Amino acid sequence: MQTHLLEIIYLIGSITFILGLKMLSHPDSARKGNLVAAAGMILAIVGTIFFYEDADHNKLGNYIWIFGGLIIGTVAGFFAAKKVQMTAMPEMVSLFNGMGGACAAIISIVELRHFFHHYNETEILGSSYPLLRGDIMTMVLGLIIGSVSFAGSMIAWGKLNGKVKDFAFPAQHIINIVLMIGVFALGGVLMFSGITAAYTWMYLILFVALVYGVLFVLPIGGADMPVVISLLNSFTGVAAACGGFLYHNSVMLTGGILVGSAGTILTILMCKAMNRSLLNVIIGSFGGSSTGSAVAGAAGDIREITMNDTAVLLSYSKKVIIVPGYGLAVAQAQHVCHELEKALEEKGVEVKYAIHPVAGRMPGHMNVLLAEADVPYPKLVEMEEINPEFSSTDVVMVIGANDVVNPAAKRDTSSPIYGMPVLDVENATTTIVMKRGMAKGYAGIENELFFEPKTRMLFGDAKATLQKLVAEVKAV
């Protein structure tokens, strides 16, 4: 009876995961979707704790350890999420994702040890037990993918908060390929080895997978990190799905498949948005050359604009497009930006937001940031739809964005971002770039847009500058 009840609970949990993911596709229902999926996860956890039985009708024990871990993890996660700034959200995603990968790897290690303790050498190596090798393969895949996800996510976390710098050495790409092939070859050896050698192969696989995870992410440039985060998320999902296969747990399998497939699709879309190859991401050669005019620095004159002139120009425009970037997030200026949008609309100005797929530090960063300020979702226009509109736009306001508006991506073949689709802001009648100074973007290259004849620079902190600009616009 309890087994059937648990299966029903798992079915309900799986349905909530699917519904939650569907609801995440639109900002109006995204928060509710998160709560629905979270409720399904809570139900699955509670059901497992109180209704799980093994083949011998033994129930779970160690309730003190189980609930102790749940309480500690819940409290730590709650306060970490409450305190994190929107600008640090990608770091937290990487950190949490790494913990998921570590859990998958630990599960595989524990289950492999339990497996080799439960069966004898003859049973494992015997041809009459093909299902045993299937179980071993599932554990090995969980170990490899989980370890790579953990190590890679920790390096990504360090890169996002500035503690880890890009690092590459000669033939690193070849070494990465050798390590990737080697770790799966070691997994094959473990599947057909006896118990005596199994533990050695297991820990060797763990070591090689961790090394590959580190070397895989280390050379990747900052501007390319959104794709890496998405890919590592998909790795963790696949590792969790391996656990679902291992435990014959439908809700764990469903959750892992959803995360893995959604992460993979998002990774492919991110690669397309940045004109990169998924194969290059996997072997760790994601990025470009570090030489060329875009890196050395663009030449030209900077043209500044005053606050009053900016307010007049915006107020008498017919159409204004705002391009938000990481600088807007750092300054926590999204609410003031929304105020500027409303002030302009009161004067009859059409205002839209141009959203680049990889603006910020992770996919959807700008969408979440502006949704927090209650910007209507229809005003957020994706790159493919907004690019044709720049030529009919009076003023483009670039607030804190850099690499995603750099024309070098279309002109300079030696640029690290060459080939990456960017927002065609230079086609507008006037482009106003709001920045603290002339610092380079996350890709570490100069922005040719700053030296365009139609570009005007408005220097200052985004939030303070926007507050003054809103007052000036209202006074015009």
Q: Residue 232 and residue 156: Cα distance in Å, rounded?
A: 9
Going by C-alpha positions, the residue among 232, 212, 242, 263 that lies closest to residue 97 is 232
Contact present, 259 and 233 (Cβ < 8 Å): yes
Residue 274 tokens read as 């940045």
Q: Residue 118 and residue 112: Cα distance in Å, rounded?
A: 10
Q: Are strands 350-355 and 395-399 parallel, antiparallel or unpaired?
A: unpaired
Q: Are strands 350-355 and 380-382 parallel, antiparallel or unpaired?
A: parallel
- Catalytic member of 403, 412, 424, 461: 403
Q: Residue 338 and residue 26: Cα distance in Å, rounded?
A: 20
Tallying the residues shown for the chain, one arrives at: 476
Contact present, 421 and 376 (Cβ < 8 Å): no
Residue 374 tokens read as 């209650």
Going by C-alpha positions, the residue among 464, 448, 81, 107 that lies closest to residue 252 is 107
Task: Give me the half-sphere count of Cα atoms (radius 13 Å) on the Cβ side of residue 261.
Answer: 9
Cβ neighbours of residue 173 closer than 8 Å, sequence gap 6 or more: 283, 284, 285
Residue 423 tokens read as 């927002």
Q: Residue 123 and residue 426: Cα distance in Å, rounded?
A: 69
Cβ neighbours of residue 452 closer than 8 Å, sequence gap 6 or more: 300, 407, 426, 431
135 is a catalytic site residue: no
Strand (E) or helix (H) holding 469: helix 462-475
Strand (E) or helix (H) holding 399: strand 395-399
Contact present, 11 and 250 (Cβ < 8 Å): yes
Catalytic residues: 403
